[in-house]
Amino acid sequence: MARPAPAAGPGPDHQRRNLAIALGVGAVGLVLVLLVVTMAWGVSRATRSHPAHGSAPANRSTPTDANGCVWRPADPTTKVDQRDVGTPPSSPVRRIGYRTMTVSTNRGALTVRMDARLTPCTVASFSYLAGRHFFDKTSCHRLVTDGIYVLQCGDPSGTDVGGPTYVFPDEIARTVPFPRASGDGLVTYPRGTVALANSGKDTNGSQFFIVYRDSPIPPSYTPFGVVTKGLSVLDKVARAGDDGAYAPDPGGGHPKLPVVITSLTVS
C-alpha cells in the first residue's frame, strides 16, 4: 500500500573530486591516460550510486535511462484504484532549475520548492500530473500525530491504494537526510519536507506526504520538495487530530479536519 508506515515506512520504529591527469607523450602515455580516466569515471559512478553510510539502501537503482525517466506500469495489486491520465513522455527531462508547486486546499495554500537537479523524474511526473488536473478535488487521506508527524495526500481515490497507471524509480541518493546518531537506521525528515510515499522500492506514483514536525523515518522515501509557505495550514490540521482509522499499522487516520486539494499546479 502506498503509505509511509512504521518499520516498512515512516514510523517511530522506523548529497569532486578534482581529477588532474598529466597528459603523457606518445602512444603509451595516451593509453595510460585513457585507462586512468576510465577507472576514475567508474569510481565516480559507483560513488554517486551509493549514498553515505546509513542514508539509503545500497542497492538503489539508477532513476533514469539513456532517454530520460523510466515510467513502468503500476501493479494493479498494490495500486488498486488507478486513474488513467496517460504516461509522461520518455524524452529527456529538464534537470536544472527550481520549480514551484502550489497546493491549494480548502484549509489554505502551501507553496513547495522543488529542485529539478536533484529529483528530475519526480519533478517531471508531478508537472505532468498537475497539467492534467490529476490532484484536483482529491483529499489528504491520512494524518499521523504520534511518533512521526505527516499529512499524506495525492491519492485520487482517497483509499490509500490509488494513483496513476504508472510508477517510477526512487531518487534518493542526493536528497535523503543523513542518518541519526542513534544508529537505529532511521533518518530525520525535517519539518517542511515533502516526500514521495510508496509501497516498496521504485513504486512511486502520485502519493506524497508533508512533514509538519521533525520525524524519524526510514530512508526509503524520496524527499523532493520543501514547503516555503503555508506550514501553518498543516499545524492547524494536526492540532485537530485524526480518527485512528489506520491504527495501529501503519498508524494515524483520516484528519478530523478534512483537507481537500482544490488544485495543484507546477510552475
Q: What is the pLDDT of residues 70-88, one digit of tens each?
A: 999 998 887 778 889 999 9
> Would 193 be classed as within a structural domain?
yes
| Structure confidence at residue 111 (pLDDT) | 99
At a CB cut-off of 8 Å and minimum separation 6, what does 230 contact? 103, 108, 109, 110, 111
Q: Which domain holds residue 94?
A: 65-266
> Would 5 be classed as within a structural domain?
no
* Position 147 pLDDT exceeds 70: yes
Residue 217: pLDDT band by 50, 70, 90 thresholds?
A: very high
Provide the CATH number for the domain around residue 188. 2.40.100.10
> Would 253 be classed as within a structural domain?
yes
| Structure confidence at residue 188 (pLDDT) | 94
Residue 179: pLDDT band by 50, 70, 90 thresholds?
A: confident
Tell me which of 215 and 7 has the higher pLDDT: 215
Section 232-248 average pLDDT: 95
Tell me which of 67 and 191 has the higher pLDDT: 191
Section 246-253 average pLDDT: 90
> Would 200 be classed as within a structural domain?
yes
Report CA-CA distances (Å) from 254 to 51, 61, 156, 237, 246: 35, 33, 15, 11, 8
| Structure confidence at residue 250 (pLDDT) | 86
Residue 5: pLDDT band by 50, 70, 90 thresholds?
A: low
> Would 92 be classed as within a structural domain?
yes
| pLDDT, tens only, 25-67 | 343 333 333 333 333 333 333 222 222 222 333 333 444 444 4
| Structure confidence at residue 66 (pLDDT) | 45
> Would 11 be classed as within a structural domain?
no
Tell me which of 97 and 225 has the higher pLDDT: 225
> Would 232 be classed as within a structural domain?
yes
> Would 51 be classed as within a structural domain?
no
Q: How many domains does the chain have?
A: 1
| Structure confidence at residue 183 (pLDDT) | 74
Report CA-CA distances (Å) from 193 to 67, 150, 265: 29, 9, 18
| Structure confidence at residue 109 (pLDDT) | 98
